[in-house]
Chains A and B, each alone.
Chain A
Amino acid sequence: MKKKITKWYMEKNEHDDVIVSCRVRLARNLSGYNFGRLLSNEDAGKLVDSVRSFKGEIEGREDKPYYSCALNNLGMREKQVLLETHAISPDIFTKEQPTGLILSEDESVSIMINGRDHIRIAAVTTGSNMKKVASVANRIDDMMDRRFKYAYGEKYGYLTSSLADVGTGLKASYMLFLPALTTGGKLSSIETELARFGLMIKGVYGDGNKSPGYLHRLFNRRTIGLTESDIYESLEVIVSQIADLEKKTRREWYERNRSDIEDKVFRSYGVLKYARSLELKDAMTLLSQIELGRFLGIIEPASARFDIHRLMIEIQPAMLAASFTGEDTEIAMEKIRAAYIRKKLPKIITEKED
């Protein structure tokens, strides 16, 4: 896995100020097996083997390389890398039974086997191209439908282990960068509003205002009683409203506290550029200040390709450890992180003078 490969989170779309990425996840179960909670170890093994054999087929059809692995046999660190890049979910991460993963080379498509459901198909992309990921996930779902026997109920649709997924088994989500709405404390009122549309918003790295990096996931709570396109549509309408509100709030905020925000942005840059030790949470908060500064036109990184959100993934503990090539194994994570950021942080080309 040392080859240079462009992962999905490195893909450059046109710069998106609020929507970081979008993702579609389909929960599917096979008939003839109990759901995850009551699946015997023996059945789990059989399930994983049978679904993993799908790798060849998907490779042929999609015409790109896929990896397949027995997830439970991976080392802790490897698993954590997958968790940090959002290729697997926390509940499959901790599972001790046989679990499996089929992952496209660019990691934009993943099929988790024997997590909370027998199969979870996920497709993800940067920016706001929900149509694209929806069609990818749907295509793979069709392929698997022909190959495996899904458990489907006439009334309840795709039968899942949790009632939160039953029906379409679809969870579509946008990852959003919301510094202004979070700091302004407007998230909880938005949350209440969203409930009326059957949507929810949650911190990606911790809940509510505490989510470092101001990253939040907006997703559908409703899965049954409406069609897939209804779900995509309602999300699309809401996400554009939230994005507009966020941008408006950022500008208003800047208008009111111009010098403070400028100070904060440059200060953050200074710390990131020269600090010798950085905790994850601090680093993420500082990086998000820079991203905000970029949006407000306060600073402009010399490299237009510089992607804060990709850097945020790369400075997570396991990712960082995996990329660390130095000899010294005793060196503290915080120091490695600071060094990594120093190396990756581009120069600033435009500075507004007072």
Chain B
Amino acid sequence: MICDICRKNKATIIYTEVINGEKNQTCLCDECAVSMNLQGLGKNNKSDTPMGSILSGILSSYMERYIENKTSDNSSKAVCPTCGMSFSTFMRERLLGCPDCYSTFSVVIEKQLKSVQPGTSHVGKVPVNATVYELKKVEPGPEKVLKTQNGNTAPSSKTKSAGKTTDIGELRLQIKEAVQKEDFMLAAKLRDRIKELENTEKDKGPDVKKSKKSAKKPKNK
């Protein structure tokens, strides 16, 4: 039996597809079977899976740009005072510039870690001689706090509950997460919520507090 696709190799797999009661048989060799991506033989997943991942790819990159352009909260405008890394560069390259970036972009970092990691606080090995960077919660111009470690450390910050927030920036991040998880229902709900909030904000008139510039403190080297 010769493979129906390449007409060269010996067929080892018979792929039977039943669509709307119509039976269709294809004889395949190993190579062609793999290249056709017939993993779960029988399951018609060859069309679903790629589509889903393509879609989430497009959506997540779209969302990223959207967040960068539209968010007006502090973290999106933030530039790390120590190394000059900007939020947009960080989002694009997924690389931080220096230890202090962890304070500067803490809000976003927390979100990103949550989506893939089991926790957002370190519980593993502790170095004996390291320079310990404390996380500054204050948004405007985070300053570096250095201290020499003296034994035990306690993970401090509590993570805000991501449930019912009224912060549009945060909601947008949640959308992105939802899209990454391919939970489009949740994404749609969040989108509606943002629209709602935007409308109510418009009714209230221009928001003054949002345009507040972050005052940079002189950095100490």
Chain A binder among B61-69, B154-162, B170-178, B199-207 = B154-162
How many Å from the CB of A135 to the closest CB on chain B? 13
A289→B29 CA distance, assembly (Å): 16
Which residues of B are found within 8 Å of A156, using beta-carbon distances?
Answer: 102, 109, 120-122, 135
Which residues of A are found within 8 Å of B128, using beta-carbon distances?
Answer: 142, 145-146
Pick the contact of B134 from A146, A154, A161, A188 — CB < 8 Å?
A: A154
* B97 x A157 contact (CB < 8 A): no
Cβ of A31 within 8 Å of any chain B Cβ, yes or no, is yes
Cβ of B84 within 8 Å of any chain A Cβ, yes or no, is yes
A166→B30 CA distance, assembly (Å): 41
Cβ of B163 within 8 Å of any chain A Cβ, yes or no, is no
Chain B residue nearest to A162 in the complex (CB): B95
In the complex, 24 of the A-B residue pairs with CB atoms within 8 angstroms, ordered by the A residue number, are A35-B83, A150-B129, A150-B130, A150-B131, A153-B122, A153-B133, A154-B156, A156-B109, A159-B102, A159-B133, A161-B97, A162-B95, A163-B94, A163-B112, A163-B113, A166-B122, A170-B124, A185-B37, A189-B40, A198-B116, A221-B116, A222-B116, A223-B117, A225-B118
Cβ of A226 within 8 Å of any chain B Cβ, yes or no, is yes
A167→B114 CA distance, assembly (Å): 13
* A260 x B93 contact (CB < 8 A): no
* B124 x A198 contact (CB < 8 A): no
Q: Which residues of A contact B (CB under 8 A)?
A: 29, 31-38, 116, 138, 141-142, 145-146, 148-164, 166-168, 170, 182-183, 185-189, 198, 209, 221-228, 257, 260
A157→B125 CA distance, assembly (Å): 8
Q: How many A-B residue pairs have CB under 8 A?
A: 175
* B129 x A167 contact (CB < 8 A): no
Q: Which of B12, B96, B102, B135 has the most CB of A within 10 A?
A: B96
* B119 x A155 contact (CB < 8 A): no
* A152 x B84 contact (CB < 8 A): no
Q: Closest 6 A-B residue pairs measured CB to CB?
A: A225-B119, A157-B122, A31-B131, A152-B130, A150-B130, A185-B39
How many Å from the CB of B127 to the closest CB on chain A? 5
Which residues of B are found within 8 Å of A37, using beta-carbon distances?
Answer: 85, 93, 95-97
Classify the interface of chain B: helix, strand, loop or mixed.
loop
* B97 x A38 contact (CB < 8 A): yes
* B39 x A188 contact (CB < 8 A): yes
* A226 x B30 contact (CB < 8 A): no
Given contacts A162-B95, A163-B113, whether A149 and B119 have CB atoms under 8 Å apart is no
Q: Contacts A35-B98, A146-B128 given; 10 further ones with Cβ under 8 A?
A: A31-B99, A152-B127, A154-B135, A154-B153, A158-B125, A163-B96, A163-B113, A185-B41, A188-B39, A260-B10
Given contacts A37-B95, A186-B39, A225-B118, whether A31 and B124 have CB atoms under 8 Å apart is no
Cβ of B132 within 8 Å of any chain A Cβ, yes or no, is yes
Which residues of B are found within 8 Å of A187, using beta-carbon distances?
Answer: 39
A38→B82 CA distance, assembly (Å): 11
* B84 x A157 contact (CB < 8 A): no
Q: In B86-118, which residues have CB < 8 Å from any A CB?
A: 93-99, 101-102, 109, 112-113, 116-118
